[in-house]
Copies of this chain bind each other. A is one copy, B any other.
């Protein structure tokens, strides 16, 4: 049996619904239809009355989730594409994210965001939004890169008493497979050593983990052993694991799929530069998507995002220093 990233997300939701009567799912087309990506396939059937279609009202979807959370439920809301969460933005960053701090009443909602660029999707069906949400106090931002993490972190997202923005990467939905669902997981907020190496650390997350791993493969015949840190959650960000890795390798490249200004890669480099300056044997570098909207055409798209190739090229520059 093998399970895809998307199936893991579905399975996590099924399990959450089965084990916790407080859980429900609300979002456009998530009911009988099973969601635009089929992440809720059959769930409406299996859990009658607990998987509901919403109007095209992202603001109200998020607002309703907060109200339900106040009443002790554990809503999972699906945005059809992460890009559309811009119209739910206010309820997420100002209503959900501030509730606990203002009132001591927790706000355990999970906002599922199908994120990230895929070929042919264009400027409005490709965005990653982890940078935006991570900036706000009161939110946890998860960016699972593996099937196992998609499963276990989504379960954790539902269990956490704070609002979680769960960034699923659409490029991984169908292609990424694991043998089975995991039975254990790293704690929330812990990064994962996706690959060990002594020459350089690549810190990354979500789909870019796979580009980084491929880059590491590419660099191996050249004699370089690259360590890859998968952040898993970008807020909180596991500075300790990053720092420990940089302490071993002395070199750092941060790779993010989001736009360059102020992204995860800026945050990681700022942390290492401020807290681990002396660990660095060479200037840290970062690699991001280009600072334009995400292009539609595959040629442009492939050049817009970091790829194994551009990651390897950036890594070589650092390694040569």
CB < 8 Å neighbour of A135 from B83, B259, B282: B259
Which residues of B are found within 8 Å of A264, using beta-carbon distances? 262
Q: Which of A257-281 contact B (CB under 8 A)?
A: 258-259, 261-267, 269-270, 272-275, 277-278, 280
A98 touches B (CB below 8 Å): yes
How many copies of the chain does the oligomer comprise?
A: 2
CB distance A293 to B134 under 8 Å?
A: no
Interface of A, secondary structure class, is helix
CB distance B138 to A292 under 8 Å?
A: yes
Q: Do A283 and B274 contact each other (CB < 8 Å), given the known contacts A134-B262, A266-B267, A267-B266?
A: yes
CB distance from A284 to the nearest CB of B (A): 6
Q: How far is the CA of A131 from the CA of B86 in the complex (A)?
A: 15
Which residues of B are found within 8 Å of A282, using beta-carbon distances? 277
CB < 8 Å neighbour of A83 from B94, B138, B285: B94
Which residues of B are found within 8 Å of A175, using beta-carbon distances? none
Chain A positions within 8 Å of B, measured between CB atoms, are 59, 83, 86-87, 89-90, 93-94, 97-98, 101-102, 123-124, 131-132, 134-138, 235, 237, 258-259, 261-267, 269-270, 272-275, 277-278, 280, 282-286, 290-293
